[in-house]
Structure 1
Amino acid sequence: MNDLRSSVLALVLWGVALALVYMPGSAWATAGAAAGLAALAAMALRRRSGAGLIVLALLCGAAVATTVAGAQPKREMLAENDGHVVEALVEVTSSTTIGRDGRLWFDAQTVEIGPPLQAERTSAPVRVGIEPIDGADLGAQVRVTGQAKATDAGERAALVIFGTRAEIARPATGIFAIAATTRADFIVRATRLPEPGAGLLPGLAVGDTRAVSNELNAAMLASGLSHLTAVSGVTVES
């Protein structure tokens, strides 16, 4: 019974979150309505079976709605940069991969962003594509200038930045630096193996597809196997 209740609660919350991601404008209204209904349910159904689950689901729904609503101002602020050149200081939050456009792509969290020389401190998720450079490892900070494009509702990133200039502002530190060094050493050793393993192994193990030949990449795409080189949701970009 507890498993069933947990499943019902999870489904309700996933449904609320999915709806609000695509209709963020209704987040505050949903939060208020859910909180109000929870209070009413607590009074009206306090002695009935299942009342606790109903109240909990409503309160959790209110919390999810509040979270979505709280994230909207920053996402809307970033969306105002759509079509403009921006300068941003970002912290890398994912593995990197080379897209079919030749750019190095990664997810990041902004530290500063805005028009060139007018960047302001703000934290929001973005997707960044730059010319390949060393040091763009998980945990590193990258300063990038480029064209901004707003994303559609439902995308995790609030903005996509097509970088024209980038530099490492701060290398990865601590555990991230250790992981980056281990990853780099693995890639160097893997590329010494005979082909096609030399190019494919780094992609399979750590998501680095730079050594994958165009012919092998095309064959993997044609056979539907390109997802095998994905790490943490990062795949070959278009």
Structure 2
Amino acid sequence: MELSLRARLRSGDPEAFGSIFDEHARTVHRYAVRVTGNWATAEDVVSLTFLEAWRLRETVRPEGDGLLPWLLGIATNVLRNTTRAARRYQAALSRVPPHDTAPDFADEVVERMEDAGRLAAAQRALRRLRRSEREVFALCVWADLDYAAAAEALDVPIGTIRSRLSRARRRLRRLTDEELASDRTEPASRPGQQQGGREIAARSNQEQIR
């Protein structure tokens, strides 16, 4: 009897793991790019996700359908750690005297969008959501998981996924509008003054889209 892919992975079969990587690496990368907004960081997340997947291979359930929810659950945990590290980095960076020119922090725009300002506002709004809401939104909307798969990825009941996603959609719409309104009322920088992060984000997105 031929062993299932899950059974082969649990037993430490390198070929099975390679097949899983080939099938799902791009999806994990796309998910990480959308969450982080940074192409290079997303590549690191993919590497860490599959390293963790190999280490945790024996935790895979013997029965089930695809392995993508399990992988995205691992990726979500990796992203939590990445986000904490990024906050520590930004806190350290804020203590460094500013340079004459502001750095362009956007390595890659996830998708071509006509309204770069709204994209920047939506990204800021997403960061203002509770982590539980942000993760459900990313899995269901950006990674296109159904409720059952997202529940498996986060190890929570399906009802929790439904309520968190509904709440996340409502709050994200409101917070995005607030960010856009803040952009419109933000005072213009004086000549020679370093521009604010929001203006940099919008300008950076526009340059990448061209």
Fold match (TM-score > 0.5)? no
Higher relative contact order (CA 8 A, sep 6+): 2
User: What TM-score, normalized to structure 1?
Assistant: 0.23
> If the length of structure 2 is used for normalisation, what is the TM-score?
0.26
Which one has a larger percent helix, Structure 1 or Structure 2?
A: 2
- Indicate the structure (1 or 2) with the bigger Cα radius of gyration: 1
